[in-house]
Amino acid sequence: MLELSGIAVSDGVAIASAYCLIEPDLSFEKSRISDIHAEKVRLKEACIKAKNQLAEIRAIADRKFGAEKAAIFSAHLLLLADPEMLAAIEGKIDDGWNAEFAVQETANEYIQIFEAMDNRYMQERATDIHDVSTRLLAHLLGVEIPDYSSISKDVILVAQDLTPSITAQLDTSYVKGFITDRGGRTSHSAILARIMEIPAIVGTKTATQELVQGAPIIIDSTRGKVIMNATQEVLDEYLEKQQAFIEQRQLLKQYRLCESVSADGHRVEIAGNIGKPQDVELVLANGGDGIGLFRTEFLYMHRHELPLEEEQFLAYKMVLEKMQGKPTVVRTLDIGGDKNLSYLKFVHELNPFLGLRGVRLCLAQQDIFRTQLRALLRASVYGNLKIMFPMIATLDEFREAKAILLEEKQKLRDEGIPVAETIEVGMMVEIPSAAVIADLFAQEADFLSIGTNDLIQYTLAADRMNEQVSYLYQPYHPAILRLVKMVIEAAHQNGKWVGMCGEMAGDEIAIPILLALGLDEFSMSAPSILTTRAQIANLSKVNLSTHLEQLLTLTTAREVEAYVKKYLWQAR
Amino acid sequence: MKKTFKITVLEGLHARPTTLLVTTVNSFESEVSITYEGKTANLKSIMGVMSLAISAGAVIEISAIGSDAKELIEKITEVIISQGIGEEC
C-alpha cells in the first residue's frame, strides 16, 4: 500500500484504476541549420496543422462543456498567431537554430516570465503556453499526440498536469477523479473537477512517478490523500465512506433551499465566511443566508503595492450584487500578526499576535483605512452591507474607527457620491477585554460578531500555531462558554444581534450550546452550511435551554463535550 | 489616435477579455499598442498584453497608428464597453 498527499480541490471519495496520461516523447536535437527559409516553411506548416487541430478541439469542447470552457482554445489559437511569439521563434531560426529548438526556447522564455509573476492566475497561464508549444513541437517532429478520447472504462486520471486540450477530449463520464503532480486551487484541472463534482488531488509532485498504470487507486479528498494498492480492509472502509458521502450529499441538497430554523421554530441565520469575491458562488451554491465574514486581506496580499480604491470598490460591489440583498458583513483589513505585507514596513515584533494588527494598524495608518472605507461606502448602495472592525480591545478604538467611517461617509455625500442610508457598524469580539465589557460595546455597536479562533487563543494564552500547547485550544472550555454567554446576553439586552464567525460556529458539538444560548448568526466555511442547517433543524431550542444551567456548571472542556453528546444531540 | 480606459472587469485582463481585445484588433491593418504604468505591449499579441498583468481599476491607454486607426479605436471602444471590460475615462 502506498500513500501520497496533495491539495484536495474537490470533495469526495473516488475508487478506480489509474490511467496515467503519458506525455508523448518530444525529445529532439538542438542543431544548426543552413536553409533558413525552409526551416521557416516547416514552422509555418506545423502552425497551420496545430491551428486546425485546435479548432477541432474547440468545437468538441463547445459541445461538451459549453462556450465558456471552449473560450480557452480561442486564447490558444491566438497564441499560435501571436506576432511577438512568432517573431521571437523566427528570430532564433534567423540565428541558425532548428525550428524545434526555437519553439521550445521561446516557450521557456515566456513560461519563465509568467511563472515569475506575482499573481497566481498569471503563474498558472504558464500551463497554456506549455500546452500550445507542446502541440506545435509535436507537429514539427511528426509525433502524434495521444488520443485521450479512447478511454472507455472507469478511471482515475494521473497526469503531470491536465491541460485544457486533454480535458476537452476526455469522455468525462468515465473519469472518476484526477491526480496531478502540479497545479493549485485555481488550475484548470481543479476548476474542472469542481464543475464535474468529482474528487481531485493536485500538487502531489510525484504521482506520475509513483502511481502505476492500471493499479487500483483511492482518492480521499477529505484528507487530501491518494492510496494505491489498498488492502481489502482499507478498500472496504473507503467503499463505505464513498457510499456515506454520496448519501450525505443527496440528503444535504434537500436543505439547500430550506430556511434555517430549529425543530421548534426558532429562526437563525447560517452564513458563509469568504476570503475572495469568487467564494460567494460557493456560499450561494450551499444555500447560505448571507456572508457573516468577508475577509478583505486578499486584496492586499500577493502584490507589490496597496490596492487602489477603485479595485477594492469593484470587488465589494461584485460581492454585494451577487448576494442580492442578503446580509453581507465585511471585516476591515486585519493585517499584522502572522500576516505581513511585503510592501509595508512592519517593525519586527516579539509577539506579533499581541502587536500592531487589525484595527490598531488601521488607526495608526489611517490613509490605508480611509481608502478601504471609501471603497466600502461607495459599494454600499449595491446590497446589504454591514461593516465590522477586527481586534477591538477598548471603546476608544471602536469610537475612533466609527468616527473615521462617518467622516468618510460625509465626505462622499459632499462629493455627491451615493452612499446607503443605513449601514450597520459592528465589531469583532475576539479579545477577552471586549467580551467582558460587551454590555458597554453593545450600547454603541450595531452588532457583535464573536471571532472564536482568536478569542480562544487569547483567553487561554495559547498560540494555536504552536503544537506544544495546541491542547489548550479548547472551544468548549467553560471560560469560553461563559464569555460567549456574556456577549450574547449583553447584545440582546441592548436589542442588538450577535454572530459568530470562528470555526466554532460550524462545530457539531458547539452548535447545540450556541443555539441554546441564543446566537443569532452562525458563519462558517461554505461546505459546513448545509450540515449545520440540517443539525439545527433537528434540535429544539426550548429543550436545549433546559440543559444550560447544568452545562455551565461543568468543570472541563471534556465534560462539556461528553455532556453534549449524551444529552444535547437528541434534544429534539 | 489614442484613447484612455479604466478596466472594470473584476478579474482584470485575464484570458477571456484579452482574447476579445486581441481578436478585435487583429482584423485591422493599423499597429496598435496598450500602455499600462509606463509599460507598452503590442495589442495584437495576447502574450504581450497578459504579461502586463493589468488588474481591475487600472487605467490603460490604447494607441493606434495606420490607415484604419480611427475605425480601430471606435471598434475597440465599442467592444470594451459592450463586453463590460472597462469604461472610457
Select the more confidently predicted residue: A298 or A232: A232
Mutation pick from A78, A130, A302 vs chain B, by most beta carbons of B within 10 Å, is: A78
Crossing angle for the helix pair A126-141 and A99-115, to the nearest 10 degrees: 170
Band the pLDDT of A572: cuts 50, 70, 90.
low
Q: Is residue A42 domain-resident?
A: yes
Q: What is the mean pLDDT of residues A57-66?
A: 80
* Choice among A245-259, A360-374, B37-51 with the minimum mean pLDDT: A245-259
Which residue, A141, A162, A187, sits at the end of a domain? Answer: A141
Query: Distance between CA A129 and CA A135 in Å, rounded?
Result: 10
Q: Is residue A66 domain-resident?
A: yes
Query: Across the interface, do A84 and B55 touch by the CB < 8 Å criterion?
Result: no
Q: Is residue A17 domain-resident?
A: no
Query: Distance between CA A461 and CA A479 in Å, rounded?
Result: 12
CA dihedral A266, A244, A474, A552 (to 10 degrees): 40
- Which CATH number goes with the domain that contains A170? 3.50.30.10
Query: Distance between CA A137 and CA A99 in Å, rounded?
Result: 9
pLDDT at A312 over 60: yes
Query: Distance between CA B88 and CA B3 in Å, rounded?
Result: 8
Band the pLDDT of A313: cuts 50, 70, 90.
very high
Question: How many folded domains does chain A comprise?
Answer: 3
Question: What are the angstrom distances between the C-alpha of A20 and each of A176, A532, A571, B82?
Answer: 13, 39, 51, 44
Domain that holds residue A167: 148-251
Q: What is the mean pLDDT of residues A193-202?
A: 81
Query: Distance between CA B22 and CA A556 in Å, rounded?
Result: 65
Question: Tell me, what's the pLDDT at A220?
Answer: 93
Query: Distance between CA B11 and CA B15 in Å, rounded?
Result: 10
Using a CB-CB distance cutoff of 8 angstroms, which residues of chain A are in contact with residue B42?
83-84
Query: Across the interface, do A315 and B14 touch by the CB < 8 Å criterion?
Result: no
pLDDT tens string A375-395? 999 999 999 999 999 999 999
**A162 lies in the same domain as A133:** no
Q: What is the mean pLDDT of residues A60-85?
A: 85
pLDDT at A190 over 90: no
Amino acid (one-letter) located at A235: L
Chain B nearest-CA residue for A75: B19
Question: Tell me, what's the pLDDT at A122?
Answer: 82
CA dihedral A475, A476, A481, A484 (to 10 degrees): 30
Q: Is residue A84 domain-resident?
A: yes
**A455 lies in the same domain as A471:** yes
Select the more confidently predicted residue: B78 or A144: B78
For chain B, the domains span 2-88
Determine phi and psi for A136, rounding to 5 degrees. -65, -45
A47 is catalytic: no
**A395 lies in the same domain as A481:** yes
Question: Tell me, what's the pLDDT at A283?
Answer: 92
Catalytic residues of B: 14
Cell of B37: 504604468
pLDDT at A31 over 80: yes
Q: Is residue A296 domain-resident?
A: yes
Query: Across the interface, do B10 and A71 touch by the CB < 8 Å criterion?
Result: no
Question: Tell me, what's the pLDDT at A150?
Answer: 67
Using DSSP's 3-state secondary structure scheme, residue A507 falls into coil
pLDDT at A528 over 90: no
Question: What are the angstrom distances between the C-alpha of A304 and each of A114, A118, A341, B49?
Answer: 16, 8, 9, 19
- Which CATH number goes with the domain that contains A60? 1.10.274.10
Question: What are the angstrom distances between the C-alpha of A375 and each of A274, A280, A311, A378?
Answer: 18, 19, 8, 5
pLDDT at A29 over 80: yes
* List of residues 6+ apart from A14 with CB closer than 8 A: A156, A176, A177, A198, A199, A217, A218, A219, A242
Q: What is the mean pLDDT of residues A299-315?
A: 88
Query: Distance between CA A353 and CA A463 in Å, rounded?
Result: 9
Select the more confidently predicted residue: A253 or A310: A310
A20 is catalytic: no
Q: Are strands B2-7 and A216-220 parallel, antiparallel or unpaired?
A: unpaired
pLDDT tens string A419-473? 999 999 999 999 999 999 999 999 999 999 999 999 999 999 998 777 788 889 9
* Choice among A91-100, A145-154, A228-237, A309-318 with the minimum mean pLDDT: A145-154
pLDDT at A564 over 90: yes
Ligand-binding site membership of A331 (annotated): yes
- Which CATH number goes with the domain that contains A413? 3.20.20.60
CA angle A360, A363, A365 (to 5 degrees): 105
Q: What SS3 string covers A13-64?
A: EEEEEEEECCCCCCCCCCCECCCHHHHHHHHHHHHHHHHHHHHHHHHHHHHH
Question: Tell me, what's the pLDDT at A198?
Answer: 85
CATH of domain B2-88: 3.30.1340.10
Select the more confidently predicted residue: A189 or B77: B77
Q: What is the complex's ipTM, to 2 decimals?
A: 0.91
Q: Are strands A424-429 and A447-450 parallel, antiparallel or unpaired?
A: parallel
* Choice among A16-30, A350-364, B40-54, B61-75 with the minimum mean pLDDT: A16-30
Q: Is residue A375 domain-resident?
A: yes
**A269 lies in the same domain as A347:** yes
Which residues 36-55 of chain B have a CB within 8 Å of chain A? Answer: 41-42, 44-48, 50-51, 53, 55
CA B65 to chain A, closest CA, distance in angstroms equals 17
Q: Is residue A381 domain-resident?
A: yes
Question: Tell me, what's the pLDDT at A351?
Answer: 86
Which residue, A251, A266, A292, sits at the end of a domain? Answer: A251
Query: Distance between CA A490 and CA A443 in Å, rounded?
Result: 9
Which residue, A251, A286, A321, sits at the end of a domain? Answer: A251
CA angle B27, B33, B34 (to 5 degrees): 115
**A464 lies in the same domain as A524:** yes
Q: Is residue A163 domain-resident?
A: yes
Band the pLDDT of A58: cuts 50, 70, 90.
confident
Question: Tell me, what's the pLDDT at A196?
Answer: 72
**A110 lies in the same domain as A57:** yes
Question: Tell me, what's the pLDDT at A571?
Answer: 55
Cell of A361: 494598524
Indicate the residue of B6, B14, B42 with minimum beta-carbon distance to A121.
B14
Select the more confidently predicted residue: A466 or A356: A356
Q: Calculate the average pLDDT of chain A.
A: 91
3-class SS shares of chain A: helix, strand, coil, % to 5: 55, 15, 35
Question: Tell me, what's the pLDDT at A153?
Answer: 85
How many C-beta atoms lie closer than 10 Å to residue A553's C-beta?
9
**A510 lies in the same domain as A474:** yes
Chain A nearest-CA residue for B58: A311
Mutation pick from A125, A131, A191 vs chain B, by most beta carbons of B within 10 Å, is: A125
Question: Tell me, what's the pLDDT at A149?
Answer: 66
Q: What is the mean pLDDT of residues A498-520?
A: 94
